[in-house]
Amino acid sequence: MIVVQDLHKRYGDFEAIRGLSFHVRHGEVFGFLGPNGAGKSTTMRIIAGLIQATAGQVRVDGHDLRREPLRAKAITSFIPDRPFLYEKLTAFEMLELQGGLHGLARAEIAARGEALLRRFELHEWSDGLIESFSHGMKQRLVFATALLPRPRLLIVDEPMVGLDPRGARLVKAVLREQCEAGASVFLSTHTMEVAQEICDRIAILSRGTIAALGTMDELRAQAEEPGSSLEQIFLRLTEEAQQQPDPRHGAAEEPSK
């Protein structure tokens, strides 16, 4: 679904990501982890088509992001860590807006919108103004909005922020449902338990490059930590990197995590 080859991104003298190469398979949840400043959000925004790489190639379902940006974006939904909603709209009006932007028929928006509001336990508030929603309700509405056009690739940055345990369980179940339906999920989170529970494979990013990548068993082997949790592996790999001079530094810091 995603193929990233020798990806670089510079901000002035600072190289936020340097030589990233990896792939995300169809129908998998791919975890993308790293400490703040590692280059996660920069990479996600490049794949989502929001910023351009300095060098390298990204293909989304076979579409080169530079040559066919609209085709790649048409099958992608991106949920950032600080999503935006038009709070003077109702929940259903927000879905209508999203559906209209994607050229969906009104009947499809109505049917799928109602189904998504029910799935995210928001149907009772479909006519309520978003400004009256709790943070968790807004977060669930963001997911419903992102899933409305049936994306083949869902990019999610910190999906559990502001969710109570019930909401978090619901979102985890929906992410697995998306993969079972053939979509791919590209997920960044600081919650190691969530990543270990739902991700098929995980990449650990450190200082703009990949320190380790694989299934949990493969990560344990790479870290030489049999039986370890993802948190233990993460801390060992990233702490080792922090002890070395950062090769990316020029005069500026990365503006996002």
- 23-40 pLDDT per residue, tens: 999 999 999 999 998 999
Same domain, 21 and 45: yes
Provide mean pLDDT across the span 34-59: 95
pLDDT over threshold 90, residue 99: yes
Q: Are residues 180 and 236 in the same domain?
A: yes
Q: Which of 108, 125, 150 is at the close of a domain?
A: 150
How confident is residue 256, by pLDDT bands cut at 50, 70 and 90?
very low
Say whether both 118 and 42 belong to one domain: no
pLDDT of residue 254: 45
User: Quick one: pLDDT at residue 242?
Assistant: 63
Find all residues with CB under 8 Å of 108, minimum gap 6, and list them: 99
The total domain count for the chain is: 2
Residue 139 sits in the same domain as residue 170? no
Evaluate if residue 57 carries a pLDDT over 70.
Answer: yes
Contact between 222 and 66 (Cβ < 8 Å) = no
CA-to-CA distance for 115 and 110, rounded, in angstroms? 9
**What is the extent of the structural domain holding 254?**
1-75+152-257
Same domain assignment for residues 145 and 188: no
**Would you place residue 243 in the very low, low, confident or very high pLDDT band (cuts 50, 70, 90)?**
low
**Distance of alpha carbon 23 from alpha carbon 132, whole angstroms:** 40
pLDDT band at 250 (very low <50, low <70, confident <90, very high): low
| pLDDT, average across residues 58-74 | 96
CA distance 10 to 95: 36
Mean pLDDT, the chain, integer = 92
Are 133 and 45 in the same domain?
no
Whether residue 172 contacts residue 185, with contact meaning beta carbons closer than 8 Å, is answered with no
| Better-predicted residue by pLDDT, 71 or 162 | 71
Q: Same structural domain for residues 103 and 162?
A: no
Q: Same domain, yes or no, for 170 and 122?
A: no
- 55-60/63-64 β-pairing: antiparallel
- pLDDT band with cut points at 50, 70 and 90 for residue 244: low
Q: For position 83, what pLDDT does the model report?
A: 87
Both 146 and 173 in a single domain?
Answer: no
Find the mean pLDDT for residues 119-142.
96
Question: 34-48, 126-140, 218-232: which has the minimum mean pLDDT?
Answer: 218-232
Domain boundary among 150, 173, 196: 150
Percent of residues, the chain, with pLDDT higher than 90: 82
Distances (CA, A) of 74 to 71, 151, 195: 5, 8, 27
Dihedral pair phi/psi, residue 10, rounded to 5°: -110, 145
Q: Considering only CA atoms, which of 248, 190, 206 is closest in space to residue 31?
A: 190
**What is the model's pLDDT at position 225?**
81
C-alpha to C-alpha distance for 207 and 241, rounded to whole angstroms: 8
State which of 121, 150, 179 marks the end of a domain.
150
54/169 same-domain check: yes
Asked if 163 and 237 sit in the same domain, the reply is yes
CA distance 91 to 199: 30
Q: What is the CATH number for 218?
A: 3.40.50.300
